[in-house]
Structure 1
Amino acid sequence: MVPLSGEEARGGQVATEADTVSLREAPRGVMDSGGPPAGGQSQGFRGFGGMLTSGPSSLEERVAGVEGWAGSWLSYAQQLFDVSSDEVLKRLKLALVPFQGQEDAANDFRTRPDFYGPFWVATTSVLFLAATGNFARLLEMEDEQSFKSDFSLVSVAASMIYGLLVAVPLCARLGLYCSGQSVDCINFKQVICVYGYSLTPLIPMSVICLVPMAVLRWIAVLCCLVTSLAFIYGTLSADLAVEAPSLKWKVLGLFCGAHVINVMVYRIYFFHSIN
C-alpha cells in the first residue's frame, strides 16, 4: 500500500500546480476597463498607482473641482498669490533701489500684482519696528536689570502698518466715488501691491535706528521716506495720469501722508524716552 501524504491523511486534497502561487511574480493591479460590472459584481482592483493618478494632477484642476463661491474665491486668491520667490526678491530690491528700471517695474506691477510680498513685508516691518524700539531702549539704559519690554509697541506698529495698508486704498476708492468717476478706473490690486512693497525701506531703517545717535536716526528716517515715495511715484504716477488724471496728485499725496505717519510715529513715539 502506498503511504498517504499529510494532506490526504487529514482528508484534504493534494495541491496541484494551478493552485500554487509563485513568489517570483507578484500579483499586479488590473486596470478597470470602465465598462459596467458583470453580474452585478464590484469593479476590478485598480491598483495603487491608478488611484493616485485618478485625481486632479494640479492645483488648477483641484480648484476647478470646488463648486460655488468657495471655488471662485480660491481661484481669485490663487491669482493674487501666484508669484515665485525670485519675483518677490526682484520687487523687494526695486523697492530699496527705486531709481533703476522704473518703466519695466510699472508694467510688471500693472500686469501681475501680488499680495504675497506686501503681506510678508508688512508683517516683517511690524516685528522689526517693535523689536528695534525695545532693543534701542535697552542699549541706552544704565541699569539693564530694571529694563522691561514694552509690548504695546507691537500693537502700535501693527495698527499703524496694517491699518494704513487697508485705509490708503479704501480712501483712494472713496475719493473716486465722491468725485463721480468710476471706481474701476484704477487698478486697486496694483495700488495695494505697490504700497505694500513701498514699506520695504522701513526694515533697514529700523536696524540703523539701533545706533544711539539722534542725527543718524533722523537721516535714516528721511532716507526711508524719500526711497518709499520715489518707488511709489515711479511705479504709479504714469498709470494714475491716464486712469484718473484729476486725482493723480491727491492719491500720491495720500501715499505721502501715510508714509510720513509711519516714519514719524516710529521715530518720535518709539524713541520718546531716549534721543
Structure 2
Amino acid sequence: MTSQGDYSVVVDIDDEGDLGDLDYNPDPEFQNTNFPSASGNVSTPGRKPATPGLPPNSSAPGKLHMWDINFYAQFFDLNTNDLLVRCKAALYPKANFLDVIDGNPDLYGPIWITTTVVLVLFLTGTLAHYFNGGELPGGGKYDFRLLTGAAGLMYGYTFIIPVALWGALKWWGGEAGILEVACLYGYANLVWIPVAVGSISTITILNYVFVALGFAMSATFLFRNLFPIVSSTDAKTAKMLLIVAVAAHAGLAITIKILFFQHKSPVKKT
C-alpha cells in the first residue's frame, strides 16, 4: 500500500506476481463465446445447436417426414414375439385387440398375413377344383386367374375398406387412427388360412360350414374391436357403420366361397 497525499491505493498481487487479465467490460449483459461444447462443436451466435440423431433440417426431435425411410420403418418395428401375440389375440380374442397393440399398430402383420392368405387361397382353390373333377394341377394346368383374383380381393378389402371406414368416421366427427383400423382388418384375415385348408374337401356342406365359421369368428373379432372406435360418433351413426362393416365382411366370405371353393368359379377358365 502506498500513500500519496490523501489517497491510498491497494493492489492485490498473487503469489507469482501475476496481475492476471484485466478485461474491463462496462456492459453487464452476457457476451457470445466460442468455447467448444462437449461434443466438439463450436456454437455460432444466432444458430441453434443441432440435435444428435436428427437431420440438420429437422425442426423438432422425433418429427419424421414421408420421404424419410424411418417414417415407414416405424410401421414395421415388430419382433417375432409381438407378432405371435397379436396373431393369437386375433384367433382367440380374449382381450380387446386395441389393448393388445397398445397404441403401436403395425403394417408388417397385415401385409404378410394378407399375402399368405392370397397364396393359400390360390393353392387350395386349385386343389378344390381338381378334387371336384377339374384338370390335373400338374402339367401346366394351373389357372393363375385364381391368383390375381385372390390378390385383388384380399388386398382390396384389407386396405380399401379401412380407408373408407376411417374417412366416414372423420366425416361424422369420430376419432380413429387409419393405421389402427388397417391393422385390425389385416389381423382379422388370419382366420381364412385354416378355413381355406379345410375347404379343400369335396363335401359341399363342409365347405359351407368352414366358410360360415370363418365369417363368424372374424366378424365377431371386427365387431368387438370396431365398436369402441365407432362409438366416438353418435349412436345412430355408430350402429349404421357397424352394420355396413359386418355386411361388407359377409360379402367377402360369400365371394371367397364362390370364387375358390366352387367347381364353376367365375374367375377360373372352364
Same fold (TM over 0.5): yes
Amino acid at match of 2:91: L
Name the CA shift for 1:176/1:82 in 2 (closer, same or farther; >3 Å): same
Q: Of 108, 122, 132, which residue of structure 2 is paired with 1:140? A: 132
Structure 1 counterpart of 2:239: 249
Q: Kindly indicate whether residue 109 of structure 2 is the aligned counterpart of residue 117 of structure 1.
A: yes
Q: Kindly indicate whether residue 143 of structure 2 is the aligned counterpart of residue 150 of structure 1.
A: yes
* CA shift for structure 1 position 114: 0.8
Contact 1:109 1:194 in 2 (8 A): no
Contact 1:81 1:115 in 2 (8 A): yes
Structure 2 counterpart of 1:94: 89
The residue matched to 2:101 in structure 1 has which SS? helix
Structure 2 counterpart of 1:82: 77
Structure 1 counterpart of 2:25: none
Contact 1:141 1:147 in 2 (8 A): no
Contact 2:75 2:106 in 1 (8 A): yes
Structure 1 counterpart of 2:158: 165
Contact 1:110 1:190 in 2 (8 A): no
Q: Kindly indicate whether residue 199 of structure 2 is the aligned counterpart of residue 209 of structure 1.
A: yes
More helix by share: 1
* CA shift for structure 1 position 80: 1.4
* CA shift for structure 1 position 174: 3.4
Name the CA shift for 1:66/1:208 in 2 (closer, same or farther; >3 Å): farther
Structure 2 counterpart of 1:108: 100
Contact 1:106 1:235 in 2 (8 A): yes
Structure 2 counterpart of 1:47: none
Amino acid at match of 1:107: D
- Measured against aligned partners, the alpha-carbon deviations of 1:162-192 in whole angstroms (never above 9, x if no partner) come to 111222122223323544x26xx21221111
Structure 1 counterpart of 2:185: 195
The residue matched to 1:148 in structure 2 has which SS? coil
Name the CA shift for 1:199/1:248 in 2 (closer, same or farther; >3 Å): same
* CA shift for structure 1 position 143: 6.5
Gaps of 5+ in 1: 1-33, 35-59
**TM-score where L is the length of structure 2:** 0.68
CA distance in 2: counterparts of 1:76 and 1:244, whole angstroms: 34
User: Percent identity of the aligned residues?
Assistant: 25
- Measured against aligned partners, the alpha-carbon deviations of 1:58-92 in whole angstroms (never above 9, x if no partner) come to xx94xx44867x96233332221111111111111
The residue matched to 2:163 in structure 1 has which SS? helix
CA distance in 1: counterparts of 2:255 and 2:216, whole angstroms: 16
RMSD after superposition: 3.0
CA distance in 2: counterparts of 1:274 and 1:198, whole angstroms: 27
- Measured against aligned partners, the alpha-carbon deviations of 1:188-226 in whole angstroms (never above 9, x if no partner) come to 211110011001101110000011111111110011001
Name the CA shift for 1:133/1:87 in 2 (closer, same or farther; >3 Å): same
Contact 2:166 2:181 in 1 (8 A): no
CA distance in 2: counterparts of 1:243 and 1:114, whole angstroms: 25
Q: Of 106, 119, 130, which residue of structure 2 is paired with 1:127? A: 119
Amino acid at match of 2:238: K
CA distance in 2: counterparts of 1:265 and 1:163, whole angstroms: 13
**TM-score where L is the length of structure 1:** 0.67
Structure 1 counterpart of 2:49: none
Q: Of 268, 271, 274, which residue of structure 1 is paired with 2:258? A: 268
